[in-house]
Structure 1
Amino acid sequence: MMRLSSQRALTLIEILVVVAIIGLLAGLFISNTDKIFGQSQEVVARVFVRDSLKTSLVRYKIDLGSYPSTAEGLNALFNAPANAGTRWRGPYADVSGNTMPLDPWGESYGYRYPGTKNKSSYDLFSKGPDKTEGTEDDIGNW
């Protein structure tokens, strides 16, 4: 009889060890999810800033002769500026609802023309995770 109960105790100990290992692995995964998802948000912002709008802005420049001004902003890709006349052939960007999407952190993308980082072109940027312009985590086309 003693042998039977010691086998049950050993089985219970094995189960506890397995549960502890699973708990440790889950804890490691959960503690790194912010890092994993944070990097994917940066990739999304980087692709949008450097690639997704580039074609739209170039098409706008071809039709109207220059990039939208800072005052006109990215809205000029969806709605004709007052001085565009018949040259505006937009909308130039294909996004849902003809409104500029927000960056992965819920903020508007920044736009300047002429650019301060790209003197002969435009600046297009996300303020990054800290939501503050001019810090190291800004993601721009420079």
Structure 2
Amino acid sequence: MKKMYTFIIALFFIVLITPAFSQSANSRNKDDDIFVKTVPIVKIYSHQLGYKILFLKSNLEIGSIYAPIKWFEHAGGKGEIVWGDSPDYPYFSIFWRDGKFDYIRIYVKRNLSDSTWGVLNAGPDVEKKFDINEIKLDF
């Protein structure tokens, strides 16, 4: 009987202390400075090395960015693709953490025959444009 009381008290303290450890682990994320910019996509070109994205800038000019395929190959990478049929698609959201590029999330039409999709032809400079570690976005 005494062992049971000791076990219950020990269990009570473990349950009581556990939230304190989880809060300290998550407190770092709350202090991070995160900035998100969502931009409509005019056209997205697929290539074996990644995606070229044409987007509408704030001055109504067309801008372009390159996103290497390696960013999208595993969870927690620098890129994520969300496939869907929403009328809002395509667009992308780019995330900066503490002023530095963190990752990009691209929302695209599921149907690759949609007019927003295209294929990027190989060229001499194309490989260099996908050899990047971050996106520099000019709004």
- Give yes or no for TM over 0.5: no
Instruction: Tell me the TM-score normalised to structure 1 length.
Output: 0.30
Instruction: Tell me the TM-score normalised to structure 2 length.
Output: 0.30
Which structure is higher in strand share?
A: 2
